[in-house]
Amino acid sequence: MYEPIRTKSVHTMAGTTSSDFPHRSREEELDIQLAGHLAALLAATDALRALAPSADLDTAAERLAAQVARLRGGRQPVRSAPVAADGREAGELHRRAHALAGRALVVAASRADTAAAILAAERMDAHAAAERALSTTEPTSRELAAR
């Protein structure tokens, strides 16, 4: 009925095999992804520390840096000195940090990393509480525009 295909597929490259390409395991990919989410959360935490320094944020930043270093084989995360007047309001930074902590929590749970999952959950709770506190005291952008 059908004639068998006698030529190589256009999807295979000539002279290469699958062992010619470096491959990472699922665990390695999850480590990379989790380290990225935690590093982004660390950057948001550092920005919040510049806006409103607190011992809680200092402790969180150190714990996040330690987790990122652990996931990256001991390499410390790059940290820049955040500028307090970057145009972002604290509420926006707390929302961003909450979302980043949520992403980190999902990946940490996926790779069964209890320490990172606990840290991410604690940061989610802290940023949600801070956002609630700010929303009751801080005027919204609509209120500011109406003035």
Q: What is the pLDDT of residue 13?
A: 58
Positive/negative CA dihedral, 65, 71, 72, 73? positive
Domain membership flag for residue 135: yes
- Alpha-carbon torsion, ordered 60, 61, 64, 68, to 10 deg: -170
Calpha distance 48→45 (Å, rounded) = 5
Q: Is the residue at 144 inside a domain?
A: no
Q: How many domains would you assign to the chain?
A: 1
Q: Looking at the domain assignment, is residue 49 inside a domain?
A: yes
- Is 107 inside a domain boundary? yes
Residue ranges making up the domain that contains 46: 26-76+86-139
Q: What is the pLDDT of residues 40-58, one digit of tens each?
A: 999 999 999 888 889 999 9
| 61-85 residue pLDDT tens | 999 999 999 999 888 888 877 665 5
**91 in a structural domain:** yes
From the list 34, 114, 40, 52, the residue with the least C-alpha distance to 80 is 40
